[in-house]
Structure 1
Amino acid sequence: MPAITPQTNASLEDIVSKLRAGDDFVITGHVSPDGDCLGSQLALAHTLRQMGKRAVCVLAKDDPLDRPFSLLPGASDMVPAALYEGACGVFVAVDVPTVERIGDAARLLERAGLSITVDHHAVDTTMTDLVHVEPAAPATALMVWEMCLQLVGRPTSEAALCAYAGLATDTGCFQFQNADASAFSGALSMVEHGADPALVAREFFQYRTLASMRLEALAIERAVFSCEGRCVVSFVSAADMERLGAVKADTEPLVDALRKIAGVEVAVMLREQDGSVRGSARAKDAADVSVLARGFGGGGHTAAAGFTVEDTLEGALDQVLARIDALYGASA
């Protein structure tokens, strides 16, 4: 039996039973959605629609989806939560544990007849009627896929592709510490149901714009090392983004480039955005970057986490470097 949090009050089977009984669903993820978030939303929506139910995926913030996320089946039909005025019989939150992280979807949660959370981020609070959280799960998409199998027996290839994209991205293309046996067995099931691993690999891990490559060169050039070379931080400014014609998706691979540097155990990439700074953290071996992210009000997992610093880029860099020294100065 998988390890669950004390806040968990429902099994996946319990949640599947409630999904079978519902008719109108709103499915949300978190602000700044990643592949696991979007893949989980879309996989569940495809499966509920396969059952003849009405399911709408909403975006926590009214921000456009860049490639490769925009290529996921059903992504073009996602609706900003702030603009959705339809039915909300059952509200499902995937890959997000707190109301602060669902952004504009909070108002939909308030009017839902039943609310459900399926996630792998452990927190001390709950926001929905039913909660199922498995902190050790490689991805929320893997739990969603299990529910899809229970709901219909044979989910569509679109659902399988979305779930596979979620699983692949949250395990770093099956390279992070969380890529355990369940991740590979789940991936096998998704592929058997029509997911295309080559497509996901090409679009999510092998597709780079020229702007993204130029940002990577800047990130490597600006890298600041600490803790005897075990930790590295770099940054790109809003001016860099504008000058190179880059979009947010162009910055996603940068932290992994830092992580690959020999001897590095903790890598952090900072991106200036709208008066604040977004941080992405990655770890190798036994290092844990979730504690770093939580210190700034963010969250994530041992090997991958994110956070936002309400400061200038220079101020955020100073804060992050100081926090890294305090956390990992002895050993990461």
Structure 2
Amino acid sequence: MATTPQTNTDLAAMAQALLVCDDVVICGHVSPDGDCLGSQLALAAALRQAGKRVSCVLAKDDPVDRNLLFLPGIEDLVPAADFDGAVFAFVGVDVPTRERIGQAACGLLDRADVSFTLDHHAADEPMADFVYVDPDAASTTTLVWKLADLLGARRAGDVALCCYTGLVTDTGRFQYQNTNVDAFVCAKEMVEAGLDASVVSREVFQNRSLPSLRLEALAIERMRLQNDGQMVTSWLTLDDFAREGAIKADAEPLIDALRAISGVRVACLLREQEDCVRGSIRAKDDTDVAAVARRLGGGGHKAAAGFTLQMPLEDAMALVEKALAEAVSGE
């Protein structure tokens, strides 16, 4: 465990503070992934066991990845902009900054009596009263798993399922560099609580759409290997998505296909959107892609990061390839 300097509490104190809150709103980051949604829903299930009124909101009114629709409670998620209920406590999970909670910042965070952050992404400026951020945690759901125990919750069922989903997706099925001893300990505890890990594997990793596979074929066809094959980049356009009938979530697995190529140290996939270009970077050695992402206005973890560029796709590709080449060569 290595909490950030901004951390001002521990999990036991956070549990006690939450137990005196009756109306709790839980929010994650924009474009929520398995760790974000799993953290929200697992914490909500644990707090409801303690008799709390809990609502989970989406930072932005975007469709949820269909591979995560099996998570219990996901049908009750509402966009933050549409939520008009009570907000005594606001909890941000898997998200460290106001900018990443979208429409929930002014509408919900600012009118809460007390606020909490539970996360594993380091940030310079805290956004809540109670802050616990551990960058060494494999996923935010491992922190929720421990917090649920301190809340006195029975962790079988929904809590275990949602927490494991966040853990297995953020570690890439225990393949990424963030996989550590604690990740396996938490996974063991979840299985001991009755979790059927095969359910998560089937729903998340064996449930790809045909448009997703077609996008992968395009990304591989276009890939550009550079720096003696140590870095690979590729891209997808808006027309690609329209032609294949694909949605944003269909592109999520593609970066791993590029990353898996022998000899590649760093992979990047650019995805054209209406008014910007979104980029995902992955490393499979000690190259710090979060540092690259920060140079490009984004952020993330050392081995997995993302960014957004307000420029044409061609210009974005040139900028990104230059930044990646410098990172790979150690400049």
Please state which band the TM-score falls in when normalised by the shorter chain. Answer: over 0.9
Q: Does 1:274 align with 2:274?
A: yes
RMSD: 1.2
Aligned to 2:264: 264
**SS, match of residue 151 in structure 2:** helix
Q: Does 1:45 align with 2:36?
A: no
Aligned to 1:128: 128
The answer as to whether partners of 2:287 and 2:327 remain within 8 angstroms in 1 is no
* Aligned AA (2:221): E
**SS, match of residue 85 in structure 2:** coil
The answer as to whether partners of 1:141 and 1:166 remain within 8 angstroms in 2 is yes
Moved more, 127-136 or 66-75: 66-75
* Aligned AA (1:71): F
Aligned to 2:191: 191
**SS, match of residue 69 in structure 2:** helix
* Aligned AA (1:225): L
Cα distance in 2 for partners of 1:201, 1:304 equals: 21
**SS, match of residue 19 in structure 2:** helix
Question: 1:19-38 to 2 correspondence within 5 Å?
Answer: 19-38=18-37
* Aligned AA (2:299): G
**Number of equivalences:** 330
Cα distance in 2 for partners of 1:305, 1:323 equals: 14
Q: Any gaps of 5 or more consecutive residues in structure 1?
A: none
**SS, match of residue 102 in structure 2:** helix
Cα distance in 1 for partners of 2:227, 2:84 equals: 51
Cα distance in 1 for partners of 2:33, 2:204 equals: 11
Cα distance in 2 for partners of 1:33, 1:300 equals: 14
Aligned to 2:312: 312
Cα distance in 1 for partners of 2:324, 2:153 equals: 47
TM-score, normalized by length of structure 2? 0.97
Q: Does 1:59 align with 2:58?
A: yes
Cα distance in 1 for partners of 2:160, 2:308 equals: 32
**SS, match of residue 131 in structure 2:** strand
Cα distance in 2 for partners of 1:134, 1:287 equals: 21
Question: 1:49-128 to 2 correspondence within 5 Å?
Answer: 49-107=48-106, 108-128=108-128
Q: Does 1:289 align with 2:289?
A: yes
* Aligned AA (1:8): T
Cα distance in 2 for partners of 1:234, 1:202 equals: 28
Q: Does 1:12 align with 2:11?
A: yes
Cα distance in 2 for partners of 1:208, 1:28 equals: 27
Cα deviation for residue 330 of structure 1 reads 3.9
The answer as to whether partners of 2:156 and 2:195 remain within 8 angstroms in 1 is no
**SS, match of residue 311 in structure 1:** coil
Cα deviation for residue 199 of structure 1 reads 1.2
Cα distance in 2 for partners of 1:101, 1:153 equals: 29
The runs of at least 4 consecutive aligned structure 1 residues that moved more than 4 Å come to: none
**SS, match of residue 201 in structure 1:** helix
**SS, match of residue 204 in structure 1:** helix
Amino-acid identity (%): 55
Cα deviation for residue 153 of structure 1 reads 4.3
Aligned to 1:247: 247
The answer as to whether partners of 2:49 and 2:153 remain within 8 angstroms in 1 is no
**SS, match of residue 21 in structure 1:** coil
Moved more, 292-301 or 93-102: 292-301
**SS, match of residue 66 in structure 2:** coil
